[in-house]
Chains A and B, each alone.
Chain A
Amino acid sequence: MPQGISTEGRNRESGKSLRFSDRGGAHRTARPGSFARLSPSGITMADAAAADTPLLQTPLHERHVALGARMVPFAGYSMPVQYKDGILTEHLWTRENAGLFDVSHMGQRFLIGADHATAARALETLIPADIQGLAPGQQRYSQFLTADGGILDDLMVTRPADPAEDGVLYLVVNAACKNDDDKLLEKLPLTFIRAEHRALLALQGPKAALALARHASGVADMAFMTSITTTFDGIPVNVSRSGYTGEDGYEISVANDKAVAVFDALIAEPEVKPIGLGARDSLRLEAGLCLYGHDIDTTTSPVEAQLQWSIQKRRREAGDFPGAARILAELKDGASRKRVGILPDGKAPAREGTEIMKDGAVIGRVTSGGFGPSVNGPVAMGYVASAHAAHGTEVELMVRGKALPARIAALPFVPNRFFRKQS
C-alpha cells in the first residue's frame, strides 16, 4: 500500500497516526536538526571552496555532473542549465518525445488542518483560488498576493486524493521565493511542513505517459491537473499531471533517497532524455507561461498578467483575498496594462527589459524574450498599455538602439497539448 502524499513528513514529525488535528499553536517547521535526518542523501551544502557562496545541491547532483551537464547557480542551487546535447536539441526533444527535469530546488510544502475545509479556508487568506472547492485529487494554480494585489509568488496547490489525507494541502512554490513564502505559511493556524526530504522530477512531452506508465500504475488515464499516490517500481511517489512546458506530462514527488532510482529508470527509457533549465525556460516561454520575478512580481496583478482564469467565481463574489479591491476593479473595468505575446518580424531576439514602442512612445517592456526553438524564431512576452494589446498590433522593439518591427501576438506561441481525458 503506497504511502500518502504527506505521511512520510507527518509520521516523522509526529510519530503518530495519519489523522492529525493538534492545530492549536502547532506551527511546526522541520527543525534544523531534522534536516540531515530527513535527507541522508539529499540536499547538502556544496563544497565551500567551489564558490564564494556555497550552493545547495539536489539529490540528483552527481547524476547531472556524470551526464556532462553544465551546472549554474540558480536560486541558491547548483542546477543543470543544459546537458551535452544543448538547449536547442533538448527543447525540440521534449516537444517530440519526453524530457526529464530535476526541479528539486522548488519548494514542496504541506499544510495540515483538522479537515479540508479548515486547511483550505486558512490558505485562501493568502491566495485568490477556490481551494475549499477542490475535489480530492485535484490541483490548482494560484498566486500569493500582497495587500495591494501584487504577486508575491505563484504556486500549485493539490488536495490529495486519499481520504486518509483529508486536511492536507500539498504546495509547490518557486525556489527563489520559498523562504519568504514560508514566513506567510508559518503564520497560518495549520501545521506546516517544509518537505525538504522530497525531490521533484518533471517528465514532460507527448511520450511522457508512455514512458511513465511502464513504471507506475494509474498514470496513463489521469486527467490534467489531478494528482495520485502510486508507486514507481515499488517506490512510493506522488504524481500529478501538470507541468511547465505546454506539453502533456507529470511531476513526480519522491523521497530524496529514492530520487536517483526514479531518475535512472526514466532516462533508461528510449523516449526520455534529461533536460536542463535552459530548455525549461524556452519551453515555458513558447507555452506562454509566466516566470516569477520576470513576467510576474509584486508590481503586477493577476489580472494584468492575464491570470484571471485562476480566480474562481466563489472567490470573486466573496472578494475575500489580499488585494481584492484592486483585482475586482480590474476584473470589472479592465486593467490599464496587460501581459501579451510579442513576435519580432525579424530574427533578432528581444530580451527582458527591451522597451516596446508605439508611435514613438514607450508603451511597455519585454519581461521574457529569446529564441523559440519550436517557433524557429524570436519570441517574447511583456506588458503593454491595454489600448495597444490587441493581437496584430504593430509595435517596435528597441534592441541595441534600433527600433525593430514586431507585433502583438496570441499566447501561447506553440499550441498547448495538455492531456484531455476522454469521458
Chain B
Amino acid sequence: MADTRYTKDHEYIRIEGDTGIVGITSYAQEQLGDVVFVELPSVGKKVDQGAEAAVVESVKAASEIYAPVAGEVVAVNDALESAPGTVNEDPTGSGWFMKIKIADSSQLNGLMSEADYKAYLDTLS
C-alpha cells in the first residue's frame, strides 16, 4: 500500500516497501516553469537526508533536489535526459527522478503527509 510523503522543498517520496520514488510536486514544477535539463545521480550513490541528490534546470535557473531520506540510489529516470519536459507534464508519474532504498524508515515520520502538505501550500499563496 503506497504512501506518499512530502518535504518543505516540494519533493515527494512515494513509498513502495523499503524503497521510495522521489520527484518534485506539481506545485514545484509550476514554480520552476519549463524544465530543460535534469542532472541525476549515479545508481549506487549513497545520499544523506537533505543532501543534494539531483539538479533540475528551467530556462531561468538551476534548482537542487534534496534527498528526502537517507539511502542508496537504486534507479534513476534516464528518460528525463532526452525529455526533461516530462517533469512539467507528469511530475508525480512518469516525471519521477530517482528510486532510493530507504536506510532508516523512521525518517519518513518527519515528512509531511498529503494533508499536511496541502495545508503547507495554503500558507504559501
State whether the Cβ of B24 lies closer than 8 Å to any Cβ in chain A: no
* A87 neighbours in B (Cβ, 8 Å): 33-34, 58-60
Within 8 A of A (CB), among B9-60: 33-34, 36-37, 39, 55, 57-60
Distance in Å: Cβ of B6 to nearest Cβ of chain A: 23
Write out the residue numbers on chain B whose beta carbons fall within 8 Å of the beta carbon of A86.
33-34
Q: Is A206 at the interface (CB under 8 A from chain B)?
A: no
Contact yes or no, A371 B61, CB < 8 A: no
A348-B57 contact given A87-B34, A278-B33, A378-B37, CB 8 Å threshold: yes
Smallest beta-carbon distance A413→chain B, Å:
15
> At the interface, yes or no: A347 with Cβ under 8 Å from chain B?
yes
Closest to B59 in A: A87
Determine whether A71 belongs to the interface, using a CB cutoff of 8 Å to chain B.
Answer: no
Interface size range on B against A: 10 to 19
In the complex, A242 has a CB within 8 A of chain B = no
Whole-angstrom distance between the alpha carbons of A27 and B33 in the complex?
Answer: 46
Cross-chain contact of B81 among A347, A351, A400 (Cβ < 8 A): A347
User: What's the Cα separation between A140 and B89 when bound, in Å?
Assistant: 44
Query: Which of B58, B60, B62 has its CB near the most chain A CB atoms (within 10 A)?
Result: B60
Q: Within the complex, what minimum Cβ distance (angstroms) separates A401 from chain B?
A: 11
Interface mask (A326-353 → B, CB under 8 Å = 1, otherwise 0): 0000000000000000000001110100
Interface pair B33/A348, CB less than 8 Å apart: no
Q: Which residue from A88, A281, A378 sits with its C-beta under 8 Å from B34?
A: A88
- For A281, what are the chain B residues with a Cβ–Cβ distance below 8 Å? 60
Q: A371, B33: Cβ atoms under 8 Å?
A: no
- Cβ B36 vs Cβ A351 within 8 A: no
Q: B81 contacts which chain A residues (CB < 8 A)?
A: 347
Contact between chains at B59 and A282 (CB < 8 Å) = yes
Interface: A370 (CB within 8 A): yes
Residues of B close to A282: CB separation below 8 A: 59
Contacts of A400 in B (CB 8 A): 39, 55
- Inter-chain contacts of A351 with B (CB < 8 A): 61-62
Closest residue of chain B to A89 (Cβ to Cβ) is B34
Chain A nearest CB from B33 CB (Å) reads 6
Kindly report which residue of chain B lies nearest to residue A347, judged by CB atoms. B37
Given known pairs A347-B81, A400-B55, the reply for A81 and B37 (CB within 8 Å) is no
Interface residues of B in 41-100 (CB under 8 A from A): 55, 57-62, 81
Is residue A253 within 8 Å, beta carbon to beta carbon, of the partner chain?
no
- Knowing A87-B33, A348-B37, the reply to whether A373 touches B57 (Cβ < 8 A) is no
- B62 near A82 with CB under 8 A, answer no
**Known interface pairs A347-B81, A400-B55; A81-B60 also in contact (CB < 8 Å):** yes
Select from chain A the residue with minimum beta-carbon distance to B81: A347
Of all A-B residue pairs in the complex, the 9 with the closest CB atoms, nearest first, are A371-B36, A88-B34, A87-B59, A86-B34, A371-B59, A347-B37, A349-B57, A86-B33, A87-B34
Q: Which residues of A contact B (CB under 8 A)?
A: 81-82, 86-89, 91, 278, 281-282, 347-349, 351, 370-371, 373, 378, 400
7 contacts between A and B (CB under 8 A): A81-B60, A82-B33, A87-B33, A87-B60, A278-B59, A282-B59, A351-B62
Other contacts beyond A282-B59, A351-B62, A371-B37: 10, CB < 8 A:
A86-B33, A87-B33, A87-B34, A87-B58, A87-B59, A347-B37, A348-B37, A348-B39, A348-B57, A349-B62
